[in-house]
Structure 1
Amino acid sequence: MHELILLRHAEAQPAQNGGDDQSRRLSGRGEQEARAAGKWLASHGMKPDRVLCSPTERTRDTASLALAAMKHAPEPQFTDDIYDATPGELLALLDQHGDASTLMLIGHNPGIERLVALLVEGRSDEFRGMPPAGLAVLHLSGALEPGNARLDAFWSP
């Protein structure tokens, strides 16, 4: 893997009383954010050859809207391993997909923001935050290891 695109899901509606967190949908603003993220990716020539996505409603919706803006985007692969994952668990998942040249992962905080910190800074406690629909584009110059990535771009709506 040479390039890693990390996308946090867009703004979601609050959970209803007793509602399931995984079934939360995007807000109207979240739908706009997801479309804007896709437009940013397309305008910067980002072309993932594999997309991994958490199976929650808000990440599915984010993926659908963002990928619609990109030509020939691959169908996302939904995996439970992304929801509520630690940076180490996300790193292990990404390691299983090392054959992809450009990999995109759509998930949740705090896992996404801590993964960025782990890959760029070498420590997951040095995260700076990842807003809803925030994107981080990382370049890997070697193995997928802590501190071995360069942050090439960061975008948020």
Structure 2
Amino acid sequence: MDLILWRHAEAEDEREGLSDMDRSLTAKGQKQASRMAAWLDRQLPESTRVLASPARRTEQTVHALGRKYKLRPELAPGATPAQLLEAAQWPDSKAAVLIVGHQPTLGHTIAQLLGLDDPNFAVKKGAVWWLRQRERDGQAQTVLVAVQAPETI
């Protein structure tokens, strides 16, 4: 199974009167989302399931991809790696799954899947981490397939 984790692009800072869920992408964030979406569209299988947090900035990020997606409340800010992996049906999903979400959930999930000791793993805004679950010699392995930042496309 392929699990692709995409952190939302750059968003406006929190300010009084604006909830965290309502923060929008900045102009830079819109460019980041467009760049990454173009790269992803060339790489993703057509059958990829696309899930996103219901926060405005994640929906704006995934919208740049131009594919059907589902908003999942369990992917909102504050989600746990367990919630993310359950939504993705990791490692049993037949299709690749793209999740557009938030820090620190994405970093914690990557650290867990790669067996890193420190769960405080940073994921750059707008970046994609592509992981694959495979079996080798009867043992399940998580393989890092790609890491892509919008600035390097």
- TM-score by structure 1 length? 0.83
Task: Report the counterpart of residue 156 of structure 1 in structure 2.
Answer: 149
Structure 1 unaligned spans of 5+: none
Q: What SS class does the counterpart of residue 36 from structure 1 fall into?
A: helix
Counterpart of 2:6, as a letter, is: L
**CA distance, structure 2, for counterparts of residue 107 and residue 89 of structure 1:** 12
* Deviation, structure 1 residue 127: 4.5
- Matched-pair contact (CA < 8 Å) for 1:49–1:100: no
Aligned runs of 1:9-88 on 2, under 5 Å? 9-43=8-42, 45-47=43-45, 49-65=48-64, 67-68=65-66, 73=67, 75-83=68-76, 84-88=78-82
Listed as ranges, the gaps of 5+ residues in structure 2 are none
**Alignment equivalent of 2:99, drawn from 95, 98, 105:** 105
SS of 1:148's equivalent in the other structure is strand
Does structure 1 retain, via aligned residues, the 8 Å contact 2:130–2:144?
Answer: yes
Corresponding position of 1:140: 133
Alignment: residue pair count? 144
The 8 Å contact of residues 10 and 28 in structure 2, kept in 1 or not, is answered as yes
The RMSD of aligned alpha carbons is: 2.0
Report % sequence identity.
28
- Aligned mates of 1:40, 1:17 — CA distance in 2: 35
- Taking the aligned partners of 1:31 and 1:135, their CA distance within structure 2 comes to 15
Taking the aligned partners of 2:133 and 2:92, their CA distance within structure 1 comes to 11
Counterpart selection for 2:109 from 106, 115, 121:
115
Aligned to 1:95: 89
What's the TM-score once normalised by structure 2's chain length?
0.85
Which amino acid letter does the alignment assign opposite residue 98 of structure 2? M
